[in-house]
Amino acid sequence: MKVSIFSNNGPESKAVATALHEGLVAGGVTIDSLDPDIVVTVGGDGTLLSAVHHYNDRLDQVRFVGIHTGHLGFYTDWRDYEVDELVASLIEDNGQSISYPMLAIRVEYADGTHADEALALNESTIKKVSGTMVADVYIKDELFESFRGDGLCISTPTGSTAYNKSVGGAVLDPRFNAIQMAEIGSINNIVFRTLGSPLVIPADEWIRIEPTSSVDNVLMCDQLSIEGRPIKAITYRIAPQRIQFAEYRHTHFWQRVEASFIGRERS
């Protein structure tokens, strides 16, 4: 088995990455950052997002495992003091995995140049640099609404606890194969009207957003921005690729949500 260690630059993460590297080499595991079977990230959920984009052309061959150097994360099951247990699990690995949906993004440009395709694990947002974003929103090619406001956030189930939650979207169990659209600061009055609440669509439907103005839009896919050319339309659907995690332990999704956002005192 070949393992890549993908760490952020924090001193704590680097120390954990070094201990992990030493433990794996001592256990006879090959370290290979170019052609890995498993990518272990060291940092936070943001580090795992970066690793997924780094290996996005190999998602069908790679499983991910995350060590969090802070609190328990949404994509990170292991804590920094559990390196020895993780090394033992990697050595005993028998291919166990769990997979979750990703978001496919297709961007068409107003100048007719070739369209771009991208993937997101958490979400994609479209906003305007300044002023109100005006855009027509289509669901499965039918005009649904004309949006006016700060922007729109289209998220995956695992991304529903990230930006989506901050803008009032629902938290979705990641076993749903669905995508969610949440509004960011919509204008709703007697003249301009949108649904005004998040909506969730199934895997065989898609959302198309056509901004009225093709310039000064900011399109984000997780932490990456797509910029430089005037945007005609963006189409969002569930990606054929899924992210795969090496599931050596199982943390119930709602326990993770409780621990991250509620953290009630236990007696």
Instruction: Return the active site residues.
Output: 45
Q: Which stretch binds ligand NAP (CB under 6 A): 39-47, 108-116, 189-197, 227-235?
A: 39-47
Q: Which stretch binds ligand NAP (CB under 6 A): 82-90, 103-111, 138-146, 160-168?
A: 160-168
Which is nearer to ligand NAP, 13 or 161 (by Cβ)?
161
* Strands in 175-252 per DSSP E: 178-186, 199-202, 207-211, 217-221, 224-226, 231-246
CA dihedral (191, 134, 237, 63) in degrees, to 10, reads -120
| Phi-psi label, residue 172: left if phi above 0, alpha if psi -120 to 50, beta otherwise | beta
Consult the annotation and say whether 175 binds a ligand.
no
Which positions from 123 through 142 interact with ligand NAP, judged by CB under 6 A? Answer: 123
Kindly report the length of the chain.
267
Query: How far is the first Cα of the chain from the last one, in angstroms, to the nearest whole number?
Result: 43
Name the minimum Å distance from CB 235 to ligand NAP: 19
* Beta carbons of 239 and 103 less than 8 angstroms apart: yes
Q: Is 162 in the site for ligand NAP (CB under 6 A)?
A: yes
Q: Is 211 in the site for ligand NAP (CB under 6 A)?
A: no
Q: Where are the alpha helices (DSSP H) in the chain?
A: 11-26, 45-54, 83-91, 163-166, 253-257
Q: Is 251 in the site for ligand NAP (CB under 6 A)?
A: no
Interface with ligand NAP (CB under 6 A), residue from 36, 101, 151, 159: 159
All residues at 6 or more sequence positions from 132 whose CB lies less than 8 Å from its CB, including other chains:
148, 149, 150, 187
Tell me how crowded residue 118 is: count the other CB atoms within 10 A of its CB. 19
Q: Is 198 in the site for ligand NAP (CB under 6 A)?
A: no
Consult the annotation and say whether 124 binds a ligand.
no
All residues at 6 or more sequence positions from 165 whose CB lies less than 8 Å from its CB, including other chains:
171, 261
Degrees, nearest 5: CA angle 57-206-174: 65
Which is nearer to ligand NAP, 29 or 40 (by Cβ)?
40
Name the minimum Å distance from CB 244 to ligand NAP: 16
Q: Is 49 in the site for ligand NAP (CB under 6 A)?
A: yes
Which is nearer to ligand NAP, 166 or 188 (by Cβ)?
166
Consult the annotation and say whether 205 binds a ligand.
no
Distance CA 157, CA 177 (A): 8
Q: Is 101 in the site for ligand NAP (CB under 6 A)?
A: no
Annotated binding site for NAD(+): 45-46, 122-123, 148, 150, 161-166
Annotated binding site: 45-46, 122-123, 148, 150, 161-166
Binding residues vs ligand NAP (CB under 6 A): 44-46, 49, 73-74, 122-123, 158-159, 161-163, 166, 222-223
